Amino acid sequence: MTDERATDARATDDSETDERESALLAGVPDGLLIGGRWRPAADGATLAVRDPSNGDVVKEIASATVADGLAALDAACAAGPAWAATPARERGEILRRAFDRLQELREDVALLMTIEMGKPLAESRGEVGYGSEFLRWFSEEAPRVQGRYGPNPEGTGRMIVSQHPVGPCFLITPWNFPLAMATRKIAPALAAGCTVVVKPASLTPLTTLLLAQVLLDAGLPDGVLNVVTTKDTGPVSEAIIRDPRLRKLSFTGSTPVGRALLEQAAGGVLRTSMELGGNAPFVVFDDADLDRAVDGAMAAKFRNIGQACTAANRFLVHRSVADEFARRVTARVEELRTGRGTQEGVTIGPLIDDRAVDKADALVTDAVERGATLRTGGTRLEGPGTYYAATVLSDVQAGSSILREEIFGPVLAIVPFDDEDEAVRLANDTEYGLVSYVYTRDLARGQRMIDRLETGMMGLNVGVVSNAAAPFGGWKQSGLGREGGAEGIHEYLQTKYTLTPDP
């Protein structure tokens, strides 16, 4: 299905804006960062980065070969001992300077994210705030890594428990939050004293390249952070993962790729952190404050154009309020404005590529064929750019693909339920367990939901939960490990127990 309604909202920007964007893009490094130097790929290959709002190539950057990937690991290994021995306070201060610099560069970083990923500028600014916060948070956590010391129960010796950096890490990030997904891994790894090779998503590598330059400017020693961008993702990643010098793999992305990488990581018995897909339930009980639930739904669904692992995927609404809820969200959705994220007033940008549009369209078509009511949207928007109309479906029927698969697009699907047990059964009926949202004014019910919903995170009367100070991560097939909070740095530390006899 196609629709031309949004064409006017996607008018081209003026020439002043074009000049600013060109200058910004020209200042972003276009090489691989290996051992503190920016260099081209060994074979000179490049990859094109596109603006999803119009499909234009905005920059060509180096595309690493397998040899480049291993050279980056060489550099991380060489820099490892000195970085691990660097006082934690000093490591933290470098992260803190990078945080300060990102505040100064806020508008540039936000614009860069909007250009390469498509989200509205206001959301990109929000991501600069959220993403840079990991640098500040872990700059503060670095000096707080502690051990234990005490007598053994027999009274014959003393036990010392100490924490040590795990060693060289490989960090793979997705395209949907170009800054935050990188800082959420890089900051704790560096704070813990690990050196890293980062492979950003080939769709949105520019923000990571700019971040790497910011960290170098903040005083990061050569080789501590290495960046390989590549269109040859599988082979380059596998060579690094299978190298016996690697100690840790941290991946954020889809569950199928995460599963494949876990198999590769098993060879070296690597420490792994996996931040994978989600299928978040958003449960609205009949006693909910409906205004707040609708506000929360808009944030949980349409932030990042629905392309968030934490995006609410299934809206489970008590039958007595389901129609009213659908009516109110539909009215709000019809006020959203689609267009290039740089344009004033735009709230829905393009999806990342054609595949994402095809997927959203296929899921909506399947749901409608199985009996769902299409309240608004349900159309792809004519190009240029990869747009899908913000959509609301109600009465989505059991068995519809949209209830099983991650939508990753601006489609809100409502399923009615009759009682609390049914809500819990439906909410947990997925192999994913990243986040859930619950709206109720009944405190006891809210507490029961904390116990009963099988997710690593929960928003109780709130539609966005992410915070650098909190442990982000999933249960079930949504992943392993936690990013952020007091927990985040421990993903990059290993424990040693030492026994020494009493003198």
Indicate the residue among 157 and 234 with the shorter CB distance to ligand NAD.
Answer: 234
DSSP string, 239-295: HHHH-TT--EEEEES-HHHHHHHHHHHHHTT-EEEEE----EEEEE-TTS-HHHHHH
Shortest Å distance, C-beta 478 to ligand NAD: 6
Around Cβ 222, how many Cβ atoms within 10 Å? Answer: 16
DSSP-based helix, strand, coil % in the chain, nearest 5: 40, 20, 35
| Selected catalytic residue, list 116, 141, 275, 491 | 275
Indicate the residue among 282 and 325 with the shorter CB distance to ligand NAD.
Answer: 282
Which position's Cβ is nearest ligand NAD? 253
**Residue 362 has which token pair?**
């296929």
Query: Which residues of the chain form contacts with ligand NAD (CB under 6 A)?
Result: 172-176, 181, 199, 201-202, 233-234, 237, 252-254, 257, 260-261, 275-278, 309, 406, 434, 474, 479
Distance CA 311, CA 356 (A): 15
Helices 106-117 and 88-104 pack at an angle, to 10 degrees, of: 80
123: annotated active-site residue: no
Shortest Å distance, C-beta 467 to ligand NAD: 13
**Residue 351 has which token pair?**
């999806």
Place of tokens 């005490």: 150
Distance CA 21, CA 223 (A): 30
Indicate the residue among 236 and 321 with the shorter CB distance to ligand NAD.
Answer: 236
Indicate the residue among 376 and 430 with the shorter CB distance to ligand NAD.
Answer: 430
Distance CA 177, CA 168 (A): 24
Which amino acid, 268?
G
Indicate the residue among 9 and 462 with the shorter CB distance to ligand NAD.
Answer: 462
Shortest Å distance, C-beta 239 to ligand NAD: 10
Shortest Å distance, C-beta 55 to ligand NAD: 18
User: Phi/psi at 27 (nearest 5 deg)?
Assistant: -85, -5
Shortest Å distance, C-beta 5 to ligand NAD: 27
Shortest Å distance, C-beta 73 to ligand NAD: 15
Indicate the residue among 310 and 391 with the shorter CB distance to ligand NAD.
Answer: 310
Is the C-alpha dihedral spanning 459, 462, 465, 470 positive or negative? negative
Cα→Cα distances 216→89, 160, 190, 226, Å: 17, 36, 13, 10
Catalytic residues: 275
